[in-house]
Amino acid sequence: MGFDVRRRLLARALAAACLAGGLVGLSAAAASADDDYPWAWQGQCPIVPQEPIVEPTPAPTPSPAPSPSPGPGTGPAAPDDEAPVVEPPPPPPPVFDPVTGHTYDPRGPRPTCARRVWSINGTIGDSWGFVLRNCTSFAAWRLRERNGIDFGNDFGGHHWGDARKWDDVARRLGYRVDSVPAIGAIAQTDDGRVGHVAWVSAIGPGTVTVEEYNHAVPGGYGVRTVPVGDFRYLHLDDVAPSPFIGSDRQVVSVPDGLGESWTVRVDRTGTLLLSRPGAPARAIGPRRAFSTLAAPALTLSGKGLPWVAATTHDGRVLAGTPRDGRLVLRRTGTSAPTASPAITLSRTGRPLLAATSPDGTLTVRRLTLHNGWSRPDRVGRAGSWATHVAPVLARDASGDTLLVAVGRAGATFAQPLERGRLQRLPGAPGSVTSTPAVTATGGGTTYVHQVDADGRLLVRTLAGRHWSRPAVIAGDWSPYASPAVGMLAGRLHVAAVDRSGAVLVRAAVPGERSRVPGRVGAGDLTRSPGLVTRRNAGVFVVAGRRTTPTLLTRPASAVVDSSLPTRAGFTP
């Protein structure tokens, strides 16, 4: 083959390789629009040796048939035509493979990576210490770009290394590692030789969608939706909570002053159930219409009649009280489907209702003298409040109506609605998925119990108009469940869920000791317990996956380990 022919063939091959590389890059960007990883399809991996391509041998050209002998009287015979020279066809241009980073002869197999390690200019590491185009490198990139964390292999002064070690390092650094996903959390598993990590981009009912590298596509980007239980979740700095975590509670109760409790709850079908003391629960409002992620609110009027407020699936707040023997719920505003409303009585004895809208705007309404609800009064800045916790309305020890609410970043604020301004409570940010509890004791002290973002149970007290710095109740608490506070055996106690899902009862005032059982059952990281009082039966904690009541104390304060309800008609 002459020099000019070889030069033309080489030029065609290079042009085809550049075009193929450009086409592949364009198609990859279109198919993976969210793949902003800076080394997507860059670098080369070591490939499995390939068998050489054997050029086909051209078939021999058959010889032409001999010409007939000239007859007598004819001229001399014409010479045979010269046989044509057949050259083999030129090889096809090489094709660029974006996965391995190599070009290859399309007549042979596509190259295969011998190891899932890619190098660029002789280096296999990215800018923050992980291996190029591996799951750890992409997860680190997502944390840097989407979560705003300056993450690298030495983050926090520890070596993170292979994916199978990430959960252990996160725990050592004090980060939460659990079974509850969140947007922006790292999904991690020890499965495989070195484990795997991915970035949580979406959450569905029982499912989680992750973005990842080097899983289904060697050295490439992928998105898949799997059951939540396929991973554990590392919460380094979540972008947003799961949309399926709210301010739900097993049961909401209010004592009537006679040793009994009214209760209200939303069952698994979304039906609102109300129970008066000694009577079975009955459905109120439209059936299957209420959010199962937001607990209802309950208070009693001066005549001992219930005021109920609840959030529907579509974010309406319905509230009402019995009139002419029927409890009719009317729309009073809007709420995030993950945020409970709050309702209580003001100094004048008329109801107040607080709710957080889907965009995070907190408002308060008052029942007017004409039994209609006032226009909403906005509290704080619009859009500044957490939408997975409930605002809390309660009477403090001085008789004022106290509003306590959690901001989007966990800052907790309190405001007496009859007087005073919004005031930030001292201490660490609270969890944006755990509602505080406000309790006023007969001794003139007001307490706020709250789980913070790190899983500590904090206690603040109000003295005059000043809040104390928080004290800590020992334990490792779930930031997805809300504490319940009440009087047990003559002392203030708090029931809360720990990180394992167990429901624990502790003395609510630091320094005091409890005489009731400390562990009352296994529950759910996201299900808050409730306290229910039954005259001549005792105080029950309602907890667990099936709303199971556990008796803590009898009226005479006799301590028992566990008991079923002892009075007919008990309904939580």
Global pTM value: 0.82
What's residue 257's pLDDT? 77
How far, rounded to the nearest angstrom, does the alpha carbon of residue 102 sit from its chain's CA centroid? 40
Q: What is the pLDDT of residues 201-212, one digit of tens each?
A: 999 999 999 999
The Cα–Cα gap between 336 and 291 comes to 10
Element (H, E) at 171: helix 166-172
Low-confidence ranges of the chain (pLDDT < 50): 1-33, 556-572
Q: What is the pLDDT of residues 60-74, one digit of tens each?
A: 666 665 655 555 555
Tell me which residue has tokens 């290859």: 104
Fold of the domain spanning 252-476: Methylamine Dehydrogenase; Chain H (2.130.10)
What's residue 137's pLDDT? 98
The answer to whether 295 and 340 are in contact (CB under 8 A) is yes
Domain 135-235 is found in CATH 3.90.1720.10: yes
How many CB atoms neighbour CB 67 within 10 A?
Answer: 10
Element (H, E) at 139: helix 135-145
Q: 385: buried, middle or exposed (CB in 10 Å: 19+, 13-18, 0-12)?
A: buried
Report domain extents, the chain: 1-49+88-124, 135-235, 252-476, 483-572
What's residue 58's pLDDT? 62
What's residue 70's pLDDT? 57
Q: Which long-range contacts (CB under 8 A, 24 or more apart) does 117-120 make?
A: 117/45, 117/46, 118/39, 118/42, 118/43, 118/44, 118/45, 118/219, 119/43, 119/44, 119/45, 120/39, 120/42, 120/43, 120/44
Count of alpha carbons within 13 Å of 561, Cβ hemisphere only?
A: 0
Max Cα distance, the chain (Å): 146
Phi, psi of 251 (to 5 degrees): -160, 145
